[in-house]
Structure 1
């Protein structure tokens, strides 16, 4: 497993679980699927056998399975996978959950028509990203499509953010991948204003009227903080 795998498992064991509050709550555990994933699903972007890689606590996978889709979801953190299984059972949907190293995906070769990455890619080191992209290519069937969500480089420099440039994405996703679309979407977090303000220089003591806290970060009328994220769509040759 990668260093990131160990870090995430430690995080879940120490508090990245339902009911955790404040700094201990996972920033990505919004308790429901990301809006970008819901919108893609409504447009029919997920077809055939689906892999949700880095599934975390399973909300995206559960949503897709609830639409009657064939979903496999894996994460490097066993604690997250066990919690995701329980969530799926409570929703009455079937998801094929498993623990796997995203940089190898051993045992998942040539199986998937659609792959979803909602916030994993930007957590990996440069070296692990290269191995990860190669593993995704092995897991996909010929013609498979990838939908990847990753924080953009517009975000402020802070220790809990790992921004990714367009050049990085285009440099990693080369043959046998073909990038077919690259745009930006909004990615919801569980961060609150005070937690963000104390960690990102330049944010004032109160949210501005337009909700734009800093480049790439907004807060809505309900206090929900959104980050800009890339949506990369790529096809496997």
Structure 2
């Protein structure tokens, strides 16, 4: 992948992941309240597991997956501490699924995929981005919906920010990009990004509300 398993593990083991905020993203909460999430749900790049925990608590059939074993361990502890021990998490390589049918068969297919801040890490790597999109196509049933929340490059910020065109260009044949709209993504300032916050508004608790894209994409 674009970064090593060891790098992702360190972010959780040392508690320096700027995306671990102790709660789900507001944009994802709003999607659920609007009835935009249905059926069997996949949370790829689940990280601390906040969205899997949210949806499990609401009685969805949901699975969270992450490349990092430390992330999965963190998510399981997080779920137990929040009183949702039934939340399910597995270690998985999101790039391998589209190229390995036997591996993909471990996971089955989903009606909804909720990608919160995974797609954008492949923004500058066309090969990995294409591999990830192929995996999503394998995992999502025809007619299913991908909701994608990604950091935007429309204003100063930190992290792997991307333009709207990257989303639209990546989801071509086999997909219908129904909507890409401006949104916000909440992160926290940790040692990993402390030297990258010039021009970024940080609140008293060290939290940032960064510009993001929220896309709704249909699998054809």
TM-score (norm 1): 0.81
Partner of 2:130: 130
Contact 2:55 2:62 in 1 (8 A): yes
| Equivalent residue number for residue 225 of structure 1 | 208
Question: CA separation in 2, counterparts of 1:184 and 1:229?
Answer: 6
The structure 1 residue matched to 2:89, chosen from 93, 97, 106, is: 97
Name the count of aligned residue pairs.
208
Aligned counterparts of 2:105 and 2:10: Cα–Cα separation in 1: 25
Of the candidates 20, 30, 38, which is equivalent to residue 29 of structure 1? 20
Instruction: Give the corresponding residue for 1:149.
Output: 149
> Is the CA contact 1:153–1:165 (under 8 Å) kept in the aligned structure 2?
yes
Shift of 1:178: 0.5
**CA-to-partner distance for each residue in 1:63-118, whole Å, 9 max, x for gaps?**
11111111011000001101111222233332221110111233356510000110
2:169 to 168, 171, 180: 171
**4+ residue runs over 6 A deviation:** none
How many Å apart are 1:224 and its aligned residue?
Answer: 2.9
Give the C-alpha shift of residue 167 in structure 1.
Answer: 1.2
Structure 2 regions of 5+ residues with no counterpart? 98-103
For the residue of structure 2 that corresponds to 1:92, the secondary structure is coil
Does the Cα contact within 8 Å between 2:189 and 2:206 map onto a contact in 1? no
- The match for 1:82 among 68, 73, 80 is 73
Per the TM alignment, residue 223 of structure 1 is displaced from its structure 2 partner at its CA by 5.3
Stretches of structure 1 lacking an aligned partner (at least 5 in a row):
17-24, 204-213
Distance of 2:179 and 2:30 partners within structure 1? 16
SS of 2:196's equivalent in the other structure is coil
Which of the numbers 65, 68, 74 marks the counterpart of 2:56? 65
Distance 1:174 1:38 in 2: 27
Pair 1:4 & 2:10 matched: no
Taking only aligned residues, the RMSD between alpha carbons, in angstroms, comes to: 2.0
| Secondary structure of the structure 1 residue equivalent to 2:32 | helix
Deviation at 1:3, TM superposition (A): 4.2
SS across alignment from 2:76: helix
Q: Is the 8 A contact 1:36 1:187 kept in 2?
A: yes
**1:139 aligned onto 2:139:** yes
Bigger-Rg structure (1/2) = 1
Q: CA deviation at 1:221?
A: 6.8
Aligned-pair distance for 1:143? 0.8
* Residue equivalent to 2:100: none
From 30, 36, 44, give the equivalent of 1:39. Answer: 30
